Chains A and B, each alone.
Chain A
Amino acid sequence: MTGLDFDVAHLLAGMLVLISFLELYQDRLYALLNVFALHALVLALSVAWQAFIQDAPHLYVTAALALVFKAVIIPVALHRIIVRLGIHREIENVVGVGPAMLTGMALVALSMVVMLRVTQEADPLAREDLAFALSVILLGLLMMVTRRNAVSQVVGFMSLENGLVLAATGAKGMPLVVEISVAFSILIAFIVIGIFLFRIRERFDTVDLQALDRFRGERR
């Protein structure tokens, strides 16, 4: 593997982390969806690059799946859901953008150190890719934690899954079956969440998850 292959793979993975930060930074739903589409696009590029340098044609399928489902279908569908439901377009954060980004920084640092320390003997590319993937996963989780709106939680979940895909493709020799099953499970999860969104909305007249907490009788 030459230095350039190495660097491009790194760069794409790093961009994925960067876009995760961008998602954290957004305060409009539509902009968030656009950024998420970009996230998926970069993921597709990254996977395709892995397919190219690992000579693994089945990864191209994964890339295509990511491109079609995550970069096109899901954002468009979410977009339509927002229009249909008339969801308030500003995202309500539990914590401000600044603290959320700071926490994100800490998480990235943590995942770097954990990954690089744990996998001392592994192939350097895989190590650093894994570190990035873990960061993407943690950032997705962080986004789900810090957002009140159900749609942005969905986006957080999806970008978390992107991190999983990145981790999986970075490691050589993952069978295609796993990829496809993961992709389908995500799709199903999306459908289920979408249906839930409609049901929540019908029942409570909002998709703000605080409303649900109120009905469970939990104190905020």
Chain B
Amino acid sequence: MAVIADFAVQGIEMLLVLLLAPLLTGFVRKVKARLLRRQGPPVIQPYRDLIRLMRKEVVLAESASWLFRVVPYLIFAATWVAASLVPTFRTGLLFSWSADLIAIIALLGSARFFLALAGMDVGTSFGGIGSSREVMIASLAEPAMMMIVFTLALIAGSTQLSTMAEFMASPAVGLRVSLALALLALIMVAIAENGRIPIDNPATHLELTMVHEAMVLEYSGRHLALIELSASLKLVLYVSLIACLFMPWGLKPADAGMPDLAFGVAAYIGKLALGAFLLAVFESSIAKMRVFRVPEFLGAALMLGLLATLLRFVSRSF
């Protein structure tokens, strides 16, 4: 019986993440529009877009192969599995032990690997641009993320995300220099991974500096819907990750009662909204970078992560 309840909660969690993802994207867009004194599309616009895209027929390029048609499902599966392994409103997920934080990062890496391949599949120049820039960004963002994981794992004594979140919520953490460095680096990596300004502009569709949009240029219909949904899921994943590691307040243990869980959900949604609001403010106040300034930005994130790890190696009190 308890197992069935556990499964149910896990299922609810996966669905919650999936359903919240477009809302978060819509909310970010709305706030950005309001900051620019525009009315902006309604918050639920992404849902409408997704439904419309799902219903449309797929227009496939003549030179596209089977890989091109499989990749959207692969990306969606990898991103969804990764996103459902991040604690949202409670720790101790049923399957949290099946993949730790390193594996979650690697799952996102798989999604990116296949998306970059899909960009090259049709054989157009824009797709190639997108893929080659994406792997360049990833080649720095992934090690930076790894260093952040190292730092957090050394502080919490585990790479298991549930255990880490529980440790972060306990008073044993304290203020740590390495933690501050890791937070900063994590925000930088999250911005890069989600293709937000100043690294990439998610709102552009014809620009020589685009990265993510250039890769998915040939996608249409349900394939495009899945890719957009995966992008939203990834945003939710990173906001949840930052929330559960650096703002673990309101995160409930696995055996909490119903009222507690309801409070946890409310706190989680509040944290998502806060994250989205801060992201929108940040994006509105900064200009996009030149592409070849990006490596310096991510290199700085890598350095910060490495510095934090070094500090943890050198002394336990950092």
Direct contact of A and B (CB under 8 A): yes
B317-A14 in contact (CB<8A):
no
In the bound assembly, the distance between CA atoms of A23 and B314 in angstroms comes to 24
**A residues 6-34 with Cβ under 8 Å of B?**
6-8, 10-11, 13-15, 17-18, 21, 25
User: Which of A15, A97, A113 sits near B180, CB closer than 8 Å?
Assistant: A15
User: Which of B306, B310, B314, B317 sits near A10, CB closer than 8 Å?
Assistant: B317
- The answer to whether the Cβ of A112 comes within 8 Å of any Cβ in the partner chain is yes
A10-B299 in contact (CB<8A):
no
B317-A18 in contact (CB<8A):
no
In the bound assembly, the distance between CA atoms of A108 and B313 in angstroms comes to 13
Contact A21 B176, CB 8 Å, known A10-B318, A14-B181, A128-B317: no
Contact A11 B296, CB 8 Å, known A18-B181, A101-B303: no
- The answer to whether the Cβ of B153 comes within 8 Å of any Cβ in the partner chain is no
- The answer to whether the Cβ of B254 comes within 8 Å of any Cβ in the partner chain is no
Contact A11 B310, CB 8 Å, known A98-B295, A128-B317: no
User: Which of A3, A11, A21 sits near B177, CB closer than 8 Å?
Assistant: A11
B315-A128 in contact (CB<8A):
yes
Number of residues on chain A facing chain B (CB within 8 A): 27
B174-A7 in contact (CB<8A):
yes
In the bound assembly, the distance between CA atoms of A21 and B300 in angstroms comes to 9
Contact A97 B303, CB 8 Å, known A4-B175, A7-B174, A124-B317: no
- The answer to whether the Cβ of A192 comes within 8 Å of any Cβ in the partner chain is no
B175-A18 in contact (CB<8A):
no
Question: Closest A-chain residue to B178, C-beta based?
Answer: A14
Question: Closest B-chain residue to A18, C-beta based?
Answer: B181
Question: Closest A-chain residue to B311, C-beta based?
Answer: A112
Q: Which residues of A contact B317 (CB under 8 A)?
A: 6, 10, 124, 128
B300-A3 in contact (CB<8A):
no
- The answer to whether the Cβ of A105 comes within 8 Å of any Cβ in the partner chain is yes
Q: Which residues of B contact A14 (CB under 8 A)?
A: 177-178, 180-181, 311, 318
Q: Which residues of A contact B318 (CB under 8 A)?
A: 10, 14, 128
- The answer to whether the Cβ of B156 comes within 8 Å of any Cβ in the partner chain is no
Q: Which residues of A contact B217 (CB under 8 A)?
A: none
A97-B176 in contact (CB<8A):
no
CB distance from B304 to the nearest CB of A (A): 7
| Residue from the set B296, B304, B307, B318 with the largest chain A CB neighbour count within 10 Å | B307
- The answer to whether the Cβ of B184 comes within 8 Å of any Cβ in the partner chain is yes
B184-A18 in contact (CB<8A):
yes
User: Which of A3, A21, A102, A109 sits near B310, CB closer than 8 Å?
Assistant: A109
User: Which of A8, A11, A105 sits near B306, CB closer than 8 Å?
Assistant: A105
With A7-B176, A15-B177 given, name 18 new contacts (CB 8 A): A6-B317, A7-B175, A11-B177, A11-B180, A13-B177, A18-B181, A21-B300, A97-B296, A97-B299, A98-B296, A101-B299, A102-B303, A104-B303, A105-B307, A108-B307, A109-B310, A112-B310, A112-B315
10 contacts between A and B (CB under 8 A): A3-B174, A7-B176, A11-B175, A14-B177, A14-B318, A15-B177, A17-B307, A21-B303, A25-B296, A108-B310
